[in-house]
Structure 1
């Protein structure tokens, strides 16, 4: 199948060379270490704690039960004693309830995921969510109400600095494709595609060796951000356009991240719940690494495992530099959606002194969703949210391309995030008033 591409996008400096060749290492914990496992690590309703203070829990044991259709189970990533349930720092929500556990035993075994008759129920039982960053509960995504004819596995990893997916694709190729084939078989999907950016030739080669045995297609993708965006990936690989406000299933497509496929394989073949993930720790650290990390480990521990910071750290980002979030507390825990920890010194950061818009149009050219950021910004600044809705701000994927190319350093994506939140609140209030 040809590569169809998508309009817009940018070519930032990728800065992947520090870790793209680094094999995944295991972050070792010690007896006495503490983890804080948030009860909300996913889109949707928080999980409800099913443990209490002084309970002894095993690695893989359920500690938070899904509390709605769009929700996810939470499991202990360690064997230990529950110290308390308290709020811990969260990069988006400020703080969230978490189960704090002290490690009492270094245990490589885990409590098996409960057996279920239904495919989606086992995915739910294992606590699997989208590991590409969105953290949408996977059991919901895997229950489409209509026929799906394409399953696309997202191996783009277009965010600068991050290489965790790259290493997974090189080191766990067979497990990823087996997870994808499980999805394909259970949902009766006709075609399976793996999309990988061309700057990962070793990953492309690893999958191409399996094509004959497992019957799927590999599509090398142009290196362009946000190639890994769901709608952009669908357009680039199968030339279908997801309608505004709709999901990929409307055009007969489901997209899953490579890490999610690996988690599904491990749940079905090993009975393992989602209790750890690979994180790229890079930037201004002495020894950048890709580490497999138990959920709930504080960011501080990851930095220490990489030899500590280099120089005076000005900013720490959880996730990628384009769509990640700054954190201000080193005790912020690793969550299911934590793909990276990036440390920046003052000299690593650009000058973000803001000037007036010069109407250059670069933001319009860069927007992969065909929006007009320069005009939309004015409505945002003046809190004209109804007008912004008419200008399709809800279609913004918050990729940050507009802010990146802006010569005047306008914080465009920040305005649009605020506007989307306000519009969604307005829509909820209108809905509640109509009841």
Structure 2
């Protein structure tokens, strides 16, 4: 155990010696206040994103129960400070310099203070540092001596960094505040154990130091006694307890690191960059309790001081307790008070609404009289005395920063390292013109942060717009390429058909070019082929429909399964249950439709012989071929209108059931309506035009193809299965031979569709292999 008088310490630039005013609140032992009727717990008590509530109005909660989960890395969990019922989740005034409001969870307490069951850890050395960080993060521990930076993030250093010096900060240089002093006297054991815990997480730095200002002899003595007891149980452990000179602001992290190590943190860097880390004594104790007892951060020691109070002391107060409730239990006299300040007289700020709650970073509630803290006189012109520069602990130029802040010159403010200002208030304290310099710096920082946020938002919007424009241009280019290719292919087909029609007057239509001469014949041949394959494919179609029914049953069983939350802390919501019911209804409809199709197929599949199927298919094809273009459009229009009616019914049903697919179904209805409008317009134009004369050669080709297809259907009907297979192989071999000839001809003529011919040859070869 080391003593401060034999350890070298260093100086930091600037600094002041304001009246300490620390004795008033140290006359009484650590106290408390009764559980308030209501606890107002803000979701953002830390640097970073606010936590997200996981409870609902009406839920009963226990002390220490998680009520809001951290949202991202730079966030912290929030727990109930006492047992009760959640009565509100809304915006409420926050303890902030601007008097802003934020989302809070209000708990109406029951006075029982029933606690949530937690998990204890007897030996932290047996756990991996990452596991310990998880426990600290789960407990919602943040920095209790500064701006509230999440402790788990601060201790999770980069793999490229190594902490050589860990400093536990007990300096507490701010006037009036004695919360850390009382903590060190009352709970020194927790601080010592917490210091070794943090050292273990940081892989045991070479130096472990507890730094306390030399105006706290009782705290130093209590820490030395606690260290002695700890070392007796854990031989080989060592901490340097150092008394540092009383000077404001020696309790600042950067200044204390410079005092202990002699190294100054460079501009734009953090303490870990110089292999050091600084943690408040309150944070160390809270981390220890979080790991050893599984205790979340639900209360803290706060100094309640000021001559307008009947009682001045330190209390262990529940987080979320309204400040006016705390003041009431200490005999607050509003007539005597000049104002109420949260924090000390140097870095604290005036509270605009005393209903604001105590939060994790509330270390002091100061209620001075008008004599203690008189209203500051109006600011006068700067006389350029230079005192502000002499006392600045960050070696800045407060005078220049003040001018640039007035001129809103953000570039020069950043060039003069405005963000290195720790807002200690030393410059305002010594200013003979009573200029509130710190307020100017705070406002300038806020403006710069807002400008950067706006710029980042604008950049993201611009990037999204540019990406969208690029995507649209690519899609349009691809569409244009496809349109050109389709037009070229259509022109080539028209030219070939014209040539074949011209030859039809002089040459008889042979089997090779029947389909080319009359494209309608393809429909007849396809219909006959489908009719012929209907009977042999019975089992296959039956199996497919049965598979569809089975899949629908499995989907229904899955949809009816009870919902299980991924995280036990997040219960199933009403919205999720409504969505489940919608999925069940949709799945039931699909199953009913699949079973209906299967039963209809089984009832009608064998009722009609093959010859009837062929005759029906040919009749349908003949009917379709005999229709005029106008009649075809009318038939198409009737079919589209029938489909539109079904689509509208489905869309209305989905909308009534609040189905997630309602918007998609409505969009389908709109598209169907557009298609019907196009068909109607095309029909109107066709009716105005003169009908064209049919081509005799085409009609002859159609009749020949019909006769040929009918004869082939009759011959296939009289064949056995083996004969049909042999006939298919023979036909496929003939098709393959012709396809190869066409490919060879296309390659010799440098035809642009060579690849398509190659693909056709490959497809026929694969089908032939399947038959063989």
**TM class by smaller structure:** over 0.9
CA contact (8 A) 1:113 1:126 kept: no
CA contact (8 A) 2:62 2:114 kept: no
Q: 1:173 and 2:177 equivalent?
A: no
Query: Quick one: structure 1 residues 387 and 318, their matched pair in 2 at CA, closer, same or farther if it must change by over 3 Å?
Result: same
CA contact (8 A) 1:313 1:343 kept: yes
Aligned to 2:315: 291
Q: How does 1:10-159 map to 2 (within 5 A)?
A: 10-29=16-35, 33-92=37-96, 94-107=100-113, 109-112=115-118, 118-145=131-158, 146-159=161-174
Unaligned runs of 5+ in 1: none
Instruction: Tell me how far apart the structure 2 counterparts of residues 149 and 427 of structure 1 sit (CA, whole Å).
Output: 35
Max Rg structure: 2
Aligned to 1:321: 345
Instruction: Tell me how far apart the structure 2 counterparts of residues 421 and 300 of structure 1 sit (CA, whole Å).
Output: 29
Aligned to 2:332: 308
Q: Secondary structure at the match of 1:313?
A: coil
Which fold has the larger relative contact order, with Cα–Cα distance below 8 Å and residues 6 or more apart in sequence? 1
CA contact (8 A) 2:319 2:360 kept: yes
**What are the superposed Cα offsets for residues 298-330 of structure 1, whole Å, 9 maximum, x if unpaired?**
001111221223743221001111111211212
Between stretches 421-430 and 128-137, larger displacement belongs to 421-430
Q: What number of residue pairs does the alignment pair up?
A: 433
CA contact (8 A) 1:113 1:122 kept: no
Q: 1:229 and 2:244 equivalent?
A: no
Q: Secondary structure at the match of 1:233?
A: helix
Shift of 1:381: 0.7
Shift of 1:20: 2.4
Query: Quick one: structure 1 residues 354 and 368, their matched pair in 2 at CA, closer, same or farther if it must change by over 3 Å?
Result: same
CA contact (8 A) 1:113 1:273 kept: no
Shift of 1:265: 1.1
Match of 2:225 among 209, 231, 238: 209
Q: 1:260 and 2:283 equivalent?
A: yes
Q: TM-score, normalised by structure 2?
A: 0.55
Higher strand share: 1
Query: Quick one: structure 1 residues 52 and 113, their matched pair in 2 at CA, closer, same or farther if it must change by over 3 Å?
Result: farther
Instruction: Tell me how far apart the structure 1 counterparts of residues 377 and 193 of structure 2 sit (CA, whole Å).
Output: 45
**What are the superposed Cα offsets for residues 279-308 of structure 1, whole Å, 9 maximum, x if unpaired?**
111002001111101110000111122122
Match of 1:334 among 346, 358, 379: 358
Shift of 1:101: 0.6
CA contact (8 A) 2:35 2:111 kept: no
Q: 1:358 and 2:362 equivalent?
A: no
Q: 1:270 and 2:270 equivalent?
A: no
Shift of 1:429: 3.7
**What are the superposed Cα offsets for residues 201-226 of structure 1, whole Å, 9 maximum, x if unpaired?**
11112223345524100111111111
Instruction: Tell me how far apart the structure 2 counterparts of residues 389 and 108 of structure 1 sit (CA, whole Å).
Output: 51
The RMSD of aligned alpha carbons is: 1.7
Shift of 1:370: 0.4
CA contact (8 A) 2:120 2:293 kept: no
Instruction: Tell me how far apart the structure 2 counterparts of residues 134 and 127 of structure 1 sit (CA, whole Å).
Output: 14
Q: Secondary structure at the match of 1:209?
A: helix
Instruction: Tell me how far apart the structure 1 counterparts of residues 137 and 178 of structure 2 sit (CA, whole Å).
Output: 27
Aligned to 2:234: none
Q: Secondary structure at the match of 2:368?
A: strand
CA contact (8 A) 1:386 1:423 kept: no
Match of 2:424 among 385, 390, 399: 399
Q: TM-score, normalised by structure 1?
A: 0.96
Aligned to 2:696: none
CA contact (8 A) 1:133 1:339 kept: no
Instruction: Tell me how far apart the structure 2 counterparts of residues 21 and 245 of structure 1 sit (CA, whole Å).
Output: 42
CA contact (8 A) 1:43 1:135 kept: yes
CA contact (8 A) 1:58 1:111 kept: no
Between stretches 17-26 and 155-164, larger displacement belongs to 17-26
